Amino acid sequence: MKVGLFIPCYVNQLYPKVGIATLELLEKLGVEVDYPIGQTCCGQPLGNSGYEDESKGTCQLFIENFKKYDYIVCPSGSCVYHVKKHFDILEQTEDVINVRNNIYELSQFIFQVLKKANLGASFPYKVGIHKSCHGLRGLRLGSCSERMDVPYSIEENLLKEVKGIQLKTLNRVDECCGFGGTFSVFEEAISVKMGKDRIQDHLNSDVEVITGTDQSCLMHLEGLINRNNQPLKVMHIAEILNSTL
């Protein structure tokens, strides 16, 4: 099994530690991982802003970079969702179809493909999960509060096996944080208010560390937390699952 590691553009540039944790974690689990040099982005910022047509070159480059792998793994539910959902703008060649079928969000890959839950991590802190929307309602990494399905959560399945962790339950278990890509800038007032409200829910629930599968949402929350000097840390789920504290 050959796995291509897709590190989203903003994670590559701004959060290399999340990429490193992802790579180390996969290697720890015995996966042969390769990071294709020269990869860029899935094209989502363009598509979500209404410029899908301008993103075709980006999407095509993505296919070229990842077509040779059995699986593509990425520490972002949102980017994976974009490839699965919106790469219909490309001609559906065998390569495109394969990439779209074989791309997985990190926790989903670990739980569904590797079929592992206990990864030997330890992390003795009180943790609140931010269930990012594209992972939750796009990839169905868990049941969402709107639907009357049998409850489940891939993130919780993995995190509850982490030694010493205390998972906290929020008042609103899966409300959006307000990041929303360019929404965070073009609808700044609402974006900030949504983020503040999410953070308050974590604070009210006695959380020390907010985690999730999408660093973009976490970047937005972290930006607010740091500006307002709030007693919370933000960590990507890969960092916790790779932790031996």
Partner 1 sequence: MPHAKEAELFNNDEAKVNWHDQALWFVRNKRDKAAHTVKGWEELRNLASAIKANVLSNLDDYLIQFEENAQKNGIHIHWAADAEAHNKIIHDILLKNNVKMVVKSKSMLTEECHLNPYLEAHGIEVIDTDLGERIVQLAKEPPSHIVLPAIHKTKEEVDVLFQKHLGTIPSNGDPQYLTNEARKHLRDKFLKADAAITGVNFAIAETGGFVVCTNEGNADMGVHLAKVHIASMGIEKIIPQEKHLGVFLRLLARSATGQPITTYSSHFNKPTEGKEMHIIIVDNGRTEQLGREHFRSSLNCIRCGACMNTCPIYRRSGGHSYKATIPGPIGSILSPGMDLKKHGSLPFASTLCGSCSDVCPVKINIHEQLYQWRQIITKDVKQPIVKKTVLKIAGRVLANSKLYGFFGKSARFMLKHLPKSVINSQTNTWGKARDLPKVENENFEDWYKKRKS
In the window 223-242, what residues touch partner 1 (CB under 8 A)? 223-224, 226-227
By CB under 8 A, residue 2 contacts partner 1: no
By CB under 8 A, residue 15 contacts partner 1: yes
Whole-number Å distance between alpha carbons of 129 and 58: 31
By CB under 8 A, residue 52 contacts partner 1: yes
Q: What phi and psi values does residue 64 have, to the nearest 5 degrees?
A: -60, -40
Nearer to partner 1 (CB atom), residue 70 or residue 188: 188
By CB under 8 A, residue 152 contacts partner 1: no
In the three-class reduction of DSSP (H, G, I as helix; E, B as strand; rest coil), residue 58 is classed as helix
**Which residues neighbour 82 within 8 Å (Cβ) at sequence distance 6 or greater?**
42, 43, 44, 47, 134
How many residues form the binding site for partner 1 (CB under 8 A)? 75
By CB under 8 A, residue 220 contacts partner 1: yes
Whole-number Å distance between alpha carbons of 184 and 206: 27
- CA dihedral over 79, 82, 84, 88, signed as positive or negative: negative
Q: Out of 3, 4, 7, 83, which residue is the one contacting partner 1 (CB under 8 A)?
A: 7
By CB under 8 A, residue 61 contacts partner 1: yes
**Which residues neighbour 174 within 8 Å (Cβ) at sequence distance 6 or greater?**
131, 133, 136, 142, 144, 145
By CB under 8 A, residue 128 contacts partner 1: no
Helix (H) or strand (E) holding 233: strand 233-236
Nearer to partner 1 (CB atom), residue 107 or residue 214: 214
Q: Out of 26, 55, 121, 130, which residue is the one contacting partner 1 (CB under 8 A)?
A: 55
Contact of 59 with 43, CB cutoff 8 Å: yes
**Which residues neighbour 192 within 8 Å (Cβ) at sequence distance 6 or greater?**
178, 224
By CB under 8 A, residue 150 contacts partner 1: no
By CB under 8 A, residue 60 contacts partner 1: yes
Q: Out of 193, 204, 206, 245, which residue is the one contacting partner 1 (CB under 8 A)?
A: 193
What's the min distance (Å) between Cβ of 116 and partner 1?
Answer: 24
Nearer to partner 1 (CB atom), residue 20 or residue 29: 20
Q: Out of 67, 114, 126, 138, which residue is the one contacting partner 1 (CB under 8 A)?
A: 138
Report the site for partner 1 in 167-186 (rule: CB under 8 A). Answer: 172, 175-176, 178-186
Q: What phi and psi values does residue 46 have, to the nearest 5 degrees?
A: -75, -50
